[in-house]
Amino acid sequence: MIDEEICPADPWQVRETRLETSLLGPMESVFSLANGYLGLRGNLDEGEPYEISGTYLNSFYEQRPLPYPEGGYGYPEQGQTVVNVTDGKLVRLMVDDEQFHVERGVLLRHERVLDLRAGTLRRDVEWESPAGKRVTVRSRRLVSFTQRAVAAIAYEVEAGDQEVRITVQSCLAADEEQVKVSDDPRVAAALSDPLQAVEQDTEQHGAVLLHRTRRSGLLLAAGMDHIVEVDGDHREETDVREDWARTTVVTVLPPGGRLRIVKFLGYGWSTSRSTEALRDQVAAALNGARYAGWDGLVAEQRAYLDDFWDSADVEIDGDANLQQAVRFGLFHVLQAGARTERRAIPGKGLTGPGYDGHAFWDTEGYVLPLLMYTTPRAAADAIRWRHAILPEARDRARTLGLAGAAFPWRTIGGQECSAYWPAGTAALHLNAVIARAVDRYRLVTGDDTLERECGLEILVETARLWVSHGHHDASGVWHVDGVTGPDEYSAVADDNVFTNLMAARNLRAAADACHRHPELAARLGVSPEEPDVWRACAHAVHIPYDERLGVHSQSEGFTRYAAWDFPEKRPDDPLMMHAPYFQLYRRQVCKQADLVLAMHWCPDAFTDEQKARNVDYYERITVRDSSLSACTQAVMCAEVGHLETAHDYAWEAAMVDLRDLHGNTRDGLHIASLAGAWSAIVEGFGGLRECESGPVLSLAPRLPSGISRLRFNLRHSGVRLEVEADHEAVRLRLREGRMTLMLYGERVDVSAQEVVSRPVVPLEPALPPPRQPPGYAPRRS
């Protein structure tokens, strides 16, 4: 368990005060550096010990067979798994004739710092070899936001009070030994040594290795270059083999003497380009990095992040953990999404091999809201990726016997990779979540360029999907049957409220967009009548409501199902680890917010009283076995006035990885939960919502007792808004221009000329604080 002592609260950094080998795995994820294109796990420079060694390139994957003991029509036959590409992080150190290893000799001091403003990972180590020689090692690592193919390491060794022979081996290593990802020997076979050597190149101060994946046939190039600075004589040489390259620097340091090596890394990959083109591309990346130099890269990184924080920062007074965690989250969401450039944002970003490196609805549902308000360009690129995989989504819809496009539940390259359809294909809501992101991007940015460029086509194709899957019953009510909502413990249900509301919203958004762009719509083959059909379905949509209980039924019949028999003691594992789907699916137990998420994302479909009653009802049966739940529960608890509970949930969403709350941070960070922490604060305590008519932004800040002041920034329609609230007042500042927004339900005009200040309007909750199942109350230390 990561705790305050190992990782103390600090507003702008995550600092590891000592090396705890049992925490190697989660800390590798926490200390990941990435830019959306390239990601390096926080492995130790010398490579060992490690739990999972990882270097990832966005969308660089290997195929693997998906074996079914009983197959079915439309089951995907090929899986995709992110590949640990050629490792360039490796810098091995010999102190005299002893290899530096934190578990040998004496580790006198160890500190690592992830600096959220600098965008670097610092490591400071003092070590005494078994032979009694002391060295100080300082390494600095970055993955450049400004040069997306580039990472760099500044590695410095300082001799202690004795002369010492120092040998540094800086390596590229392909096909490192991996953790076992599957019990299936065929899958393991497909993923062990996925890289086949293609070509090697020795440069003056480094090398380039080219490999190709065995089955997916993707071409990879990884290169390194070095600048060596040393007080005195040294020798440098580079060896290259098919699967590794090694630049060795040897010197003898006098007492207090220093050796500093700057290692530049360049990466590139392609599905179609030639070996030569890719080799030259990587060489160019290395040249660019060398031209900037270490200091230049650091300066560019700082400037990039200054700009980010300027419009994205969240300040929280009163809860130092939450303050740290929300910035940690913002930083990692940026790292996941900054430079994806029309590739997916995976569920784990580029921080680990979890979920095979797949992207899910997490992106549009949880990550893009944050990016839209802080880094809209990155959000636009994520939407462009969905547009880019429309051909695969259309194919999938045809396979399913449906019209339009059915986006993959999980994928890297665009093809459906979900091998269990009740929790994959049946989660059709994903398509409406993507459509919502498209529509919301326009609302938040006030810019319909993207809609014209590609958004309209997504809206139209998803609308067509819904019309082909839904149907009108004999009395004209429109139903969506046999789908799985967000709650994966209630699969293959009829008329899931979340799905139906989101589908209706999808249909209306598509119709509205066609109305805005009639010519573009016509070019997509939308007849003048088609949007009327969409609106008619949306209008007639069935929303199950249980009159007897006075709550919405998550799906048809849900509130009639048997209760889940919660034991007195909460089990250690998720329910799905000790109960079969056969039992889970027809019991009143929710893996995660589902009806509650519907209230968060479709607020206008519920009255205040319904929201209060629904929150109360579903809190009692929700177990949060998914990390996507706490943030939504925070937002809705806040909305109905349970601010203390909301604070607990916000803490849980934000600390998911800094406390390894799900026990699987080693496999990668929970990017959506980290983004969800921002939602918990900004939408929960800030009350941020978007309205489709009138002023877009709506705010209603209300703070829990443990937070004395909250400040956050939003980009909206090209202007920057700062919202600051404490328990008495709300202050709104605009950096430029003017805008109108709703504050506590009233129109407020804000301009760059003056700060608008208003008293907080308190909210009395309609019901007492909600109860959770035994052992499932939200955690806050």
Among 196, 399, 698, 751, binds a copy of itself (CB under 8 A): 399
Of 326-334, 395-403, 459-467, 596-604, which segment contacts a copy of itself by CB under 8 A?
A: 395-403
Residues 52-71 that bind a copy of itself (CB under 8 A): 66-70
Of 322-330, 470-478, 604-612, 676-684, which segment contacts a copy of itself by CB under 8 A?
A: 470-478
Of 190-198, 262-270, 468-476, 760-768, which segment contacts a copy of itself by CB under 8 A?
A: 468-476
Of 29-37, 93-101, 477-485, 497-505, which segment contacts a copy of itself by CB under 8 A?
A: 477-485
Nearest to 328 by CA among 123, 144, 52, 113: 113
H or E segment to which residue 392 belongs: helix 390-399
Closest distance between a copy of itself and the C-beta of residue 536, in Å? 16
Closest distance between a copy of itself and the C-beta of residue 509, in Å? 24
How many residues bind to a copy of itself according to rule CB under 8 A? 49
From residue 506, give the alpha-carbon distance in Å to each of 216, 445, 446: 34, 19, 19
The nearer residue to a copy of itself, 111 or 494, going by C-beta atoms, is: 494
Catalytic residue among 28, 46, 158, 488: 488
Give 222's Cβ-side CA count (13 Å radius). Answer: 31
Give 777's Cβ-side CA count (13 Å radius). Answer: 13
Of 164-172, 254-262, 491-499, 522-530, which segment contacts a copy of itself by CB under 8 A?
A: 491-499
Q: 7: helix, coil or strand?
A: coil
Sign of CA dihedral 520, 525, 527, 532: negative
Closest distance between a copy of itself and the C-beta of residue 505, in Å? 22
Per-residue interface string for the shown chain with a copy of itself, residues 343-382, x marking contact by CB under 8 A: ----------------------------------------
Residues 619-648 that bind a copy of itself (CB under 8 A): none
To the query of whether residue 488 is one of the catalytic residues in this protein, the response is yes
8 Å CB contact between 412 and 80: yes
Closest distance between a copy of itself and the C-beta of residue 586, in Å? 3
592 labelled ligand-binding = yes
The nearer residue to a copy of itself, 184 or 609, going by C-beta atoms, is: 184
Residues 538-597 that bind a copy of itself (CB under 8 A): 548, 556-557, 560-562, 576-583, 585-586
279 CB neighbour count, 10 Å cutoff: 22
The nearer residue to a copy of itself, 188 or 777, going by C-beta atoms, is: 188
* Rounded-to-integer distance, Cα 512 and Cα 534, Å: 10
Per-residue interface string for the shown chain with a copy of itself, residues 174-213, x marking contact by CB under 8 A: ----------xxx---------------------------
Contacts of 120 (CB under 8 A, 6+ apart): 33, 114, 140, 141, 142, 298, 301
The nearer residue to a copy of itself, 294 or 564, going by C-beta atoms, is: 564
* Rounded-to-integer distance, Cα 655 and Cα 677, Å: 9
The nearer residue to a copy of itself, 492 or 760, going by C-beta atoms, is: 492
* Rounded-to-integer distance, Cα 592 and Cα 459, Å: 27
Of 193-201, 432-440, 466-474, 748-756, which segment contacts a copy of itself by CB under 8 A?
A: 466-474
611 labelled ligand-binding = no
Closest distance between a copy of itself and the C-beta of residue 537, in Å? 13
The nearer residue to a copy of itself, 441 or 585, going by C-beta atoms, is: 585
Q: Which residue(s) pair with 719 in the sheet?
A: 716
Side chain identity at 453, as an amino acid letter? Answer: E
The nearer residue to a copy of itself, 76 or 770, going by C-beta atoms, is: 76
Question: Does residue 479 touch a copy of itself according to CB under 8 A?
Answer: yes
Closest distance between a copy of itself and the C-beta of residue 188, in Å? 11
User: In the structure encoding, which two tokens stand for residue 692, read together?
Assistant: 């489709």
611 CB-contact burial (10 Å; exposed 0-12 / middle 13-18 / buried 19+): buried
Ramachandran angles phi, psi of 297, nearest 5°:
-60, -40
The nearer residue to a copy of itself, 176 or 356, going by C-beta atoms, is: 356
Which residue in the block uniquely carries the two structure tokens 């509970």? 645
Closest distance between a copy of itself and the C-beta of residue 474, in Å? 7
Cite the DSSP H helix spans in 544-629.
581-584, 595-601, 608-619
Beta strands (DSSP E) in 297-424 are 314-317
Question: Does residue 525 touch a copy of itself according to CB under 8 A?
Answer: no
591 labelled ligand-binding = yes
From residue 176, give the alpha-carbon distance in Å to each of 195, 199, 243: 10, 18, 9
Q: 779: helix, coil or strand?
A: coil
* Rounded-to-integer distance, Cα 152 and Cα 146, Å: 12
Closest distance between a copy of itself and the C-beta of residue 71, in Å? 9
User: In the structure encoding, which two tokens stand for residue 574, read together?
Assistant: 């998720």
8 Å CB contact between 235 and 250: yes
The nearer residue to a copy of itself, 471 or 747, going by C-beta atoms, is: 471
Closest distance between a copy of itself and the C-beta of residue 467, in Å? 12
Residues 403-442 that bind a copy of itself (CB under 8 A): 418-423, 425-426
Per-residue interface string for the shown chain with a copy of itself, residues 143-172, x marking contact by CB under 8 A: ------------------------------
From residue 780, give the alpha-carbon distance in Å to each of 433, 615, 661, 670: 30, 20, 11, 18
Beta strands (DSSP E) in 547-652 are 551-552, 562-563, 587-588
Closest distance between a copy of itself and the C-beta of residue 744, in Å? 39
User: In the structure encoding, which two tokens stand for residue 603, read together?
Assistant: 């607020």
Question: Does residue 476 touch a copy of itself according to CB under 8 A?
Answer: no
The nearer residue to a copy of itself, 183 or 519, going by C-beta atoms, is: 183
8 Å CB contact between 535 and 511: yes
Q: What is the CA radius of gyration of the chain?
A: 27
753 CB-contact burial (10 Å; exposed 0-12 / middle 13-18 / buried 19+): exposed
Among 103, 272, 474, 529, binds a copy of itself (CB under 8 A): 474
Q: Angle 643-654/630-639 helices, nearest 10 degrees? A: 160
147 labelled ligand-binding = no
User: In the structure encoding, which two tokens stand for residue 685, read together?
Assistant: 């305590």
Residues 70-109 that bind a copy of itself (CB under 8 A): 70, 72-74, 79
Sign of CA dihedral 569, 589, 663, 1: negative
Return binding residues. Answer: 361-362, 591-592
Residues taking part in catalysis: 488
Return binding residues for substrate. Answer: 361-362, 591-592
Residues that bind a copy of itself (CB under 8 A): 66-70, 72-74, 79, 184-186, 399-402, 418-423, 425-426, 471, 473-474, 479, 481-482, 491-492, 494, 548, 556-557, 560-562, 576-583, 585-586
